[in-house]
Structure 1
């Protein structure tokens, strides 16, 4: 190893180039800072390379395959439908992932962000080393933003390797498994279970809690469970995964449910039980950065750590591990370094699961609002009453608004159904802006669109529904 014998100076250094890191670097550069970004693996981080983006590509491919298999309701019939999964994976990697990651690298360079390839390690609160297999260079810095993300949790009895895979392995299978076991029914597990079920796999989900998709309301989850049942997906809740034993041509998964020891054979078992923050090999202790017992970095409302000029964002700080949360925190941290008076406000932070149907939430649900002392009411508009949903043959689901009783201010919303991931944006804006149901109802929505269901839900909240 060749070691640099002098320290190079950096103004603002960002560690990690995922949706938190690259956004922080670009925004800091836009604000006049001289920025460098350190990346040890791939530009775009987990989300763009082996997470959010490729998973949505496989989900989309599964939908296309199902539509090709059966669109008889539209009068469209096909014969001899086949799936070339190698081509599917090539499209995902080359046309989707590579296009985005190369685009991010171009944006970094366009904004004059210096890209440092290697692994960062803090020597102290103003010095770090960036190491590769062949060399190491020492840098001093004025400010740092840590955005190193997270990695899948490995559980006892399920050591990753071979036919025991994490979500990254699940996204990069060479073939669609005939049988797949998914351990963990959160949004990652449920999304990939649905994707592979649509692609033709026989899927079993083992979930330790008494419901899949914890954090979403029961009537929302029931829609997903109903869809899973229609696809032949077996969902076992309150199940304790015990061990995975590889066989000559597959894997046997042992688990306990309802007090009984059970086992199931599969081609692969994918473990998606959560993620661990990447903070354990950064030298943060040497920099004086305080962390929680779970390895999360303690930060204030600007993302500032216990060290005044070091910030942390994304999966390594408290709160949900969401890419858009990381990007939001990135802008706040970059602006704070530039001296702007900013602070995070998670009031309108959406969460989405790209299941069938899609489900999305923002703000408070009715129970949460009441626990906070708000006097609220909730109103739901079914997509069965929406013309565009009917024309798409996608009428399952609803839009629900949670509003204050006194002045109908929108404090929360839940959407289940086609394009829920897009519909939630209008409702997030409404909550962020302090809008009430009348503001939505008086906004002219194009016809026929799914967005009209948001307007209809608002009119229901006002006691004057037209389409129900």
Structure 2
């Protein structure tokens, strides 16, 4: 190893070039700061190269594959139904390369210095960067840690890559599994299950004890119904005993309600548990305050207990989401530049790119009741929406929860086509403390999924047009 002759001076050093890191770098450069970004692997981080983007290429393809029946109904696509995963892998690589090149171009355009190598703290104001045989030392005024997280390898798994996969490997497959077993219950597990089921795989989801689907109870019930409709088997309250990988498949033994059971599959995907990438940095040696789980504690400006060091993204407490990292990156950069930014994740959207997709913002019905809020609840089925009838995507609904004493909307939840795109509107409404009238007063494009939101809110006060009156339905039933 060759050690640099001198200690090099830097203003702001950012460790990690993922969505939080490069966002912080660009925002800081916009504010006139001199920025050095250190990345060990590829720009864009795990999210762009191994996580968010690759997975969404697959969920997008799966969504298109699920439309074939409807497309045939309207006279399109009479050919082969099979999915070519090798072509999909090529397309995925093309998208990743294009987006990564875009990030690198933006950094160059903002005059951000990019250093490739492994960073380690050697003091509260110094970082050593190892790149092959070269080792350089940088003294900084401020640093932002944005090194993300990695999935915890389950102790029951001996090796990965042939038939057992974690989140970074499952979207590398070039053949559709015959029978994919999914161990987990989070959004990633649901996305993997729905995608490979759409590609033609037999899919079974195993959910551990005391776990369940992560959304409002009504959404969870609809997800279970749709999974059953798509022949995705879900087994709840499972306590896994052993995982054995054979030459021709996977054998899992587990207990359910005290009874030992066995399931066989061709491949296994595990989506449970992630840890912050903090330990390799060596920062704990200098007394930085951390949680018992290993996350760096930060204040509202993303500043740690060491004044010169900030932290953002998966190395901090809270949901491990790119959207959180991006916002925190902007806040950290603005705080370092002398601003007074704010990060409030009260209405952080929770989404799943399943088939159909899910978006959830604000309080669930159960949470609202736990807070003893006197609530009104309305649910509008997409089956009553004109645009859903055109597209053939009638599964799902929009659910709105409001405070009956103030008319404030406290939660919006959607399962159905368009949910991800509409989630931005849900966030804005809750951030602006919208009341029911704030949603019912404007006009909405027709036909569109947006009308379903209008009717869900109108349903809170019995004014939804495309919902039959409850009393009338009961009267009709009583006369039969």
Change (3 A) 1:336 1:370: farther
Q: Name the SS for the 1:460 alignment partner.
A: helix
What pairs up with 1:421-436 in 2 under 5 angstroms?
421-436=420-435
TM superposition shift of 1:246: 2.0
Residue by residue over 1:137-190, the C-alpha shift from the partner in whole angstroms, topping out at 9 and shown as x without a partner, is 100111111111111111121134232211111011121111111111211111
- Secondary structure (helix, strand or coil) at the match of 1:120 reads strand
Q: What whole-Å deviation, never above 9, does each CA across 1:277-329 have from its counterpart, x for those lacking one?
A: 11111111234311111111111111111011211111111111111011111
Cα distance change on mapping 1:399 and 1:311 into 2, 3 Å: same
2:131 is the counterpart of 1:128 = no
> How far has the Cα of 1:77 moved from its partner?
6.1
Q: Which residue of 2 aligns with 1:19?
A: 19
Q: Which residue of 1 aligns with 2:177?
A: 177
| Match of residue 58 from structure 1 | 58
Instruction: Report the CA distance between 1:261 and its aligned residue.
Output: 2.3
Q: Which runs of 5+ in 1 are unaligned?
A: none
- Distance in 2 (CA, whole Å) between partners of 1:396 and 1:70 is 13
Q: Output the CA distance in 2 between the equivalents of 1:443 and 1:319.
A: 35
Compared CA separation, residues 212 and 201, structure 1 to 2 (3 A): farther
* Contact residue 149 and residue 275 of structure 2 kept, 8 A: yes
Residues 262 and 84 (structure 1), Cα distance of their counterparts in 2 relative to 1, 3 Å cut = same
Q: Is the 1:228–1:234 contact (alpha carbons within 8 Å) kept by the matching residues of 2? A: yes
Find the aligned partners of 1:223 and 1:159 in 2 and give their Cα distance. Answer: 36
Match of 1:308 in 2: 307
Which residue number in structure 1 is paired with residue 471 of structure 2?
Answer: none
| Other-structure match for 1:371 | 370
The residue number in structure 1 matching 2:353 is 354
CA distance in 2, matches of 1:93, 1:375: 50
How many residues align structurally?
466
CA distance in 2, matches of 1:27, 1:287: 28
CA distance in 2 between counterparts of 1:343 and 1:369 reads 25
Aligned to 1:398: 397
Q: Give, in whole Å, the separation in 1 of the partners of 2:103 and 2:374.
A: 45
Please report how far the alpha carbon of residue 352 of structure 1 lies from its aligned counterpart in structure 2 after TM superposition.
0.1
1:429 Cα deviation after fit: 0.4
Structure 1 residue 218 corresponds to structure 2 residue 217: yes
5+ residue gaps, structure 2: 468-480
In the alignment, structure 1 residue 2 sits paired with structure 2 residue 17: no
Cα–Cα, structure 1 residues 384 and 210, in superposed 2: closer, same or farther, change >3 Å? farther
- What is the distance in 2 between the residues matched to 1:154 and 1:21? 25
Q: C-alpha deviations, 1:29-79, integer Å up to 9, x for none?
A: 111111111111111111111111111111111222233366444355624
1:151 paired with 2:153, answer no
Partner of 2:6, secondary structure, is strand
Aligned to 2:413: 414
Distance in 2 separating the partners of 1:427 and 1:405: 19
In 2, Cα distance between equivalents of 1:316 and 1:365: 27
Contact 1:183–1:241, Cα closer than 8 Å, also in 2: no
Q: Compute the displacement of 1:224 (Å).
A: 1.8
Give distance in 2, aligned partners of 1:181 and 1:238.
Answer: 15
**Deviation, structure 1 residue 111:** 1.1
1:369-425 CA-partner distances (Å, limit 9, x unpaired)? 343354332222221221111111112211122222233122221111111111111
Contact 1:456-1:467 at 8 Å conserved across structures: yes
| TM-score normalised by structure 1 residue count | 0.95
Q: What CA deviation, in whole Å up to 9, does each residue of 1:252-291 have, x standing for no partner?
A: 2222223222222222211111211111111112343111
Equivalent in the alignment of 1:334: 333
DSSP-derived class of the 1:262 partner? strand
After superposition, the CA RMSD in angstroms is 1.7
Matches within 5 A, 1:1-150: 1-68=1-68, 71-76=71-76, 78-94=78-94, 96-150=95-149
On the 8 A contact 1:386/1:450 being kept in 2, the answer is yes
Separation (CA, whole Å) in 2 of partners of 1:12 and 1:160: 40
Q: CA deviation at 1:463?
A: 4.1
Find the counterpart in structure 2 of residue 250 from structure 1. Answer: 249
String of CA shifts for 1:225-269, please: whole Å, max 9, x gaps.
222222222211111222222222222222222322222222221
Give the distance between the partners of 2:218 and 2:89, measured in 1 at CA: 34
The range that moved more, 250-259 or 386-395, is 250-259
